[in-house]
Structure 1
Amino acid sequence: MFNLKALQRNKTVKYGVPMLLLVVGGSFGLKEFTQIRYDAQRHRKRLDPELEAQVNVQRQANILEDEYEKMKQVNLDDWKNIRGPRPWEDSREYQEQQRSRQNKKD
Protein backbone atom coordinates (compact mmCIF):
# COMPACT_ATOMS: atom_id res chain seq x y z
CA MET A 1 0.00 0.00 0.00
CA PHE A 2 2.21 2.79 1.23
CA ASN A 3 5.73 2.76 0.12
CA LEU A 4 8.11 4.04 2.82
CA LYS A 5 10.64 5.33 0.29
CA ALA A 6 7.94 7.31 -1.49
CA LEU A 7 6.95 8.97 1.80
CA GLN A 8 10.58 9.81 2.56
CA ARG A 9 10.92 11.55 -0.81
CA ASN A 10 7.70 13.52 -0.40
CA LYS A 11 8.54 17.17 0.44
CA THR A 12 5.39 17.62 2.52
CA VAL A 13 6.31 14.73 4.77
CA LYS A 14 9.98 15.64 4.81
CA TYR A 15 9.63 19.37 5.60
CA GLY A 16 5.96 20.19 6.32
CA VAL A 17 5.18 17.67 9.05
CA PRO A 18 8.26 18.51 11.17
CA MET A 19 7.54 22.22 10.76
CA LEU A 20 3.93 21.72 11.80
CA LEU A 21 5.01 19.67 14.81
CA LEU A 22 7.53 22.37 15.76
CA VAL A 23 4.95 25.17 15.59
CA VAL A 24 2.17 23.33 17.40
CA GLY A 25 4.47 21.68 19.94
CA GLY A 26 6.31 24.96 20.55
CA SER A 27 3.04 26.69 21.29
CA PHE A 28 2.15 24.18 23.99
CA GLY A 29 5.69 24.21 25.35
CA LEU A 30 5.78 28.00 25.60
CA LYS A 31 2.43 27.97 27.36
CA GLU A 32 3.83 25.74 30.08
CA PHE A 33 7.02 27.77 30.51
CA THR A 34 5.18 31.09 30.70
CA GLN A 35 2.73 29.65 33.22
CA ILE A 36 5.66 28.67 35.44
CA ARG A 37 6.99 32.22 35.16
CA TYR A 38 3.70 33.83 36.18
CA ASP A 39 3.19 31.37 39.02
CA ALA A 40 6.64 32.23 40.37
CA GLN A 41 5.90 35.97 40.17
CA ARG A 42 2.58 35.50 41.97
CA HIS A 43 4.34 33.50 44.67
CA ARG A 44 6.99 36.20 45.17
CA LYS A 45 4.41 38.96 45.47
CA ARG A 46 2.62 37.38 48.41
CA LEU A 47 3.16 39.28 51.63
CA ASP A 48 3.72 37.99 55.10
CA PRO A 49 0.28 37.83 56.82
CA GLU A 50 1.34 40.21 59.59
CA LEU A 51 2.74 42.71 57.11
CA GLU A 52 -0.35 42.40 54.95
CA ALA A 53 -2.54 43.18 57.97
CA GLN A 54 -0.49 46.32 58.67
CA VAL A 55 -0.80 47.42 55.05
CA ASN A 56 -4.57 46.95 55.12
CA VAL A 57 -4.84 49.01 58.32
CA GLN A 58 -2.81 51.80 56.74
CA ARG A 59 -4.99 51.74 53.63
CA GLN A 60 -8.13 52.10 55.72
CA ALA A 61 -6.60 55.00 57.65
CA ASN A 62 -5.87 56.97 54.47
CA ILE A 63 -9.37 57.53 53.28
CA LEU A 64 -10.23 60.34 50.94
CA GLU A 65 -11.92 62.57 53.50
CA ASP A 66 -8.85 62.56 55.75
CA GLU A 67 -6.67 63.60 52.84
CA TYR A 68 -9.11 66.37 51.98
CA GLU A 69 -8.96 67.69 55.53
CA LYS A 70 -5.16 67.72 55.38
CA MET A 71 -5.24 69.66 52.12
CA LYS A 72 -7.58 72.25 53.63
CA GLN A 73 -4.98 72.89 56.33
CA VAL A 74 -2.25 73.76 53.79
CA ASN A 75 -1.80 77.45 53.05
CA LEU A 76 -1.66 77.69 49.27
CA ASP A 77 -1.77 81.50 49.13
CA ASP A 78 1.93 81.84 50.05
CA TRP A 79 3.05 79.03 47.76
CA LYS A 80 5.56 79.92 45.06
CA ASN A 81 6.58 77.85 42.08
CA ILE A 82 10.38 77.63 41.85
CA ARG A 83 11.83 75.78 38.91
CA GLY A 84 14.61 73.28 39.41
CA PRO A 85 17.99 73.51 37.73
CA ARG A 86 18.40 72.52 34.11
CA PRO A 87 20.72 69.59 33.32
CA TRP A 88 23.48 71.92 32.13
CA GLU A 89 23.24 74.17 35.22
CA ASP A 90 25.13 73.51 38.44
CA SER A 91 22.44 72.57 40.94
CA ARG A 92 24.27 73.87 44.02
CA GLU A 93 24.94 77.22 42.43
CA TYR A 94 21.33 77.47 41.28
CA GLN A 95 20.03 76.61 44.75
CA GLU A 96 22.18 79.32 46.28
CA GLN A 97 20.79 81.84 43.77
CA GLN A 98 17.23 80.84 44.64
CA ARG A 99 17.93 81.10 48.37
CA SER A 100 19.50 84.54 48.01
CA ARG A 101 16.51 85.75 45.95
CA GLN A 102 14.11 84.34 48.54
CA ASN A 103 16.00 86.05 51.40
CA LYS A 104 15.99 89.41 49.57
CA LYS A 105 12.21 89.31 49.11
CA ASP A 106 11.55 88.44 52.77
Structure 2
Amino acid sequence: MFNLKSLQRNKTVKYGVPMLLLVVGGSFGLREFTQIRYDAQKIRRKLDPSLEAKVNVQRQSTVLQEEYEKMKELNLEEWKNIRGPRPWEDSREYQEQQRTRQDRED
Protein backbone atom coordinates (compact mmCIF):
# COMPACT_ATOMS: atom_id res chain seq x y z
CA MET A 1 0.00 0.00 0.00
CA PHE A 2 2.86 2.31 0.83
CA ASN A 3 4.43 1.75 -2.59
CA LEU A 4 1.19 2.56 -4.44
CA LYS A 5 0.78 5.91 -2.66
CA SER A 6 4.40 6.83 -3.27
CA LEU A 7 4.00 5.99 -6.96
CA GLN A 8 0.89 8.17 -7.20
CA ARG A 9 2.84 11.10 -5.75
CA ASN A 10 5.82 10.62 -8.05
CA LYS A 11 5.74 13.24 -10.84
CA THR A 12 7.45 10.93 -13.33
CA VAL A 13 4.77 8.30 -12.96
CA LYS A 14 1.98 10.85 -12.79
CA TYR A 15 2.97 12.95 -15.84
CA GLY A 16 5.90 11.29 -17.60
CA VAL A 17 4.51 7.82 -18.24
CA PRO A 18 1.20 9.06 -19.76
CA MET A 19 3.13 11.51 -21.93
CA LEU A 20 5.47 8.77 -23.11
CA LEU A 21 2.51 6.51 -23.87
CA LEU A 22 0.84 9.33 -25.81
CA VAL A 23 3.92 10.03 -27.93
CA VAL A 24 4.74 6.40 -28.69
CA GLY A 25 1.11 5.37 -29.14
CA GLY A 26 0.45 8.41 -31.35
CA SER A 27 3.34 7.45 -33.57
CA PHE A 28 1.94 3.98 -34.15
CA GLY A 29 -1.57 5.35 -34.63
CA LEU A 30 -0.44 7.89 -37.21
CA ARG A 31 1.45 5.21 -39.08
CA GLU A 32 -1.72 3.14 -39.40
CA PHE A 33 -3.85 6.09 -40.52
CA THR A 34 -1.32 7.24 -43.12
CA GLN A 35 -1.03 3.69 -44.45
CA ILE A 36 -4.79 3.66 -45.01
CA ARG A 37 -4.45 6.93 -46.91
CA TYR A 38 -1.73 5.61 -49.22
CA ASP A 39 -3.60 2.36 -49.82
CA ALA A 40 -6.69 4.32 -50.86
CA GLN A 41 -4.60 6.40 -53.29
CA LYS A 42 -3.19 3.23 -54.87
CA ILE A 43 -6.69 1.89 -55.41
CA ARG A 44 -7.82 5.13 -57.07
CA ARG A 45 -4.81 5.18 -59.38
CA LYS A 46 -5.45 1.72 -60.76
CA LEU A 47 -6.58 1.89 -64.37
CA ASP A 48 -8.82 -0.40 -66.29
CA PRO A 49 -6.55 -3.14 -67.76
CA SER A 50 -7.55 -2.38 -71.37
CA LEU A 51 -6.94 1.34 -70.87
CA GLU A 52 -3.64 0.66 -69.13
CA ALA A 53 -2.50 -1.48 -72.07
CA LYS A 54 -3.30 1.36 -74.50
CA VAL A 55 -1.41 3.87 -72.37
CA ASN A 56 1.65 1.61 -72.16
CA VAL A 57 1.65 0.99 -75.92
CA GLN A 58 1.47 4.72 -76.62
CA ARG A 59 4.35 5.42 -74.24
CA GLN A 60 6.54 2.79 -75.85
CA SER A 61 5.77 3.77 -79.43
CA THR A 62 6.65 7.43 -78.98
CA VAL A 63 10.22 7.98 -80.00
CA LEU A 64 12.06 11.27 -79.96
CA GLN A 65 13.10 10.92 -83.58
CA GLU A 66 9.48 10.45 -84.69
CA GLU A 67 8.44 13.58 -82.83
CA TYR A 68 11.28 15.49 -84.45
CA GLU A 69 10.13 14.37 -87.91
CA LYS A 70 6.60 15.55 -87.15
CA MET A 71 7.89 18.95 -86.07
CA LYS A 72 9.93 19.31 -89.25
CA GLU A 73 6.78 18.86 -91.35
CA LEU A 74 4.90 21.70 -89.62
CA ASN A 75 4.65 25.03 -91.39
CA LEU A 76 5.67 27.55 -88.75
CA GLU A 77 5.67 30.56 -91.09
CA GLU A 78 1.88 30.81 -91.04
CA TRP A 79 1.60 30.24 -87.32
CA LYS A 80 -0.48 32.76 -85.40
CA ASN A 81 -0.53 33.38 -81.66
CA ILE A 82 -4.10 33.63 -80.37
CA ARG A 83 -4.74 34.87 -76.84
CA GLY A 84 -7.02 32.79 -74.66
CA PRO A 85 -9.88 34.29 -72.66
CA ARG A 86 -9.22 35.94 -69.32
CA PRO A 87 -10.93 34.52 -66.21
CA TRP A 88 -13.41 37.41 -66.16
CA GLU A 89 -14.28 37.05 -69.87
CA ASP A 90 -16.95 34.74 -71.21
CA SER A 91 -15.01 32.04 -73.05
CA ARG A 92 -17.79 31.27 -75.56
CA GLU A 93 -18.15 34.91 -76.49
CA TYR A 94 -14.39 35.25 -76.86
CA GLN A 95 -14.20 32.14 -79.05
CA GLU A 96 -16.89 33.55 -81.33
CA GLN A 97 -14.91 36.80 -81.63
CA GLN A 98 -11.79 34.88 -82.56
CA ARG A 99 -13.66 32.85 -85.17
CA THR A 100 -15.14 35.94 -86.79
CA ARG A 101 -11.73 37.62 -86.87
CA GLN A 102 -10.20 34.54 -88.43
CA ASP A 103 -12.98 34.37 -91.05
CA ARG A 104 -12.44 38.04 -91.97
CA GLU A 105 -8.69 37.48 -92.36
CA ASP A 106 -9.15 34.44 -94.62
| TM beyond 0.5 | yes
Deviation of the 1:46 alpha carbon:
4.0
Deviation of the 1:43 alpha carbon:
4.6
Q: How does 1:8-87 map to 2 (within 5 A)?
A: 8-47=8-47, 50-87=50-87
Aligned equivalent of 2:3: 3
Residue segments in structure 2 that go unaligned for 5+ positions in a row: none
Distance verdict in 2 for CA 1:47–1:19, change over 3 Å: same
Alpha-carbon separation, structure 2, partners of 1:98 and 1:49? 41
Corresponding letter in the other structure for 1:77: E
Distance verdict in 2 for CA 1:19–1:88, change over 3 Å: same
Would you say how many aligned residue pairs link Structure 1 and Structure 2? 105
Residue segments in structure 1 that go unaligned for 5+ positions in a row: none
TM-score by length of 1: 0.74
Alpha-carbon separation, structure 1, partners of 2:24 and 2:81? 60
CA RMSD of aligned residues (A): 2.5
Corresponding letter in the other structure for 1:84: G
**Percent identity over paired residues:** 80
Alpha-carbon separation, structure 2, partners of 1:98 and 1:26? 59
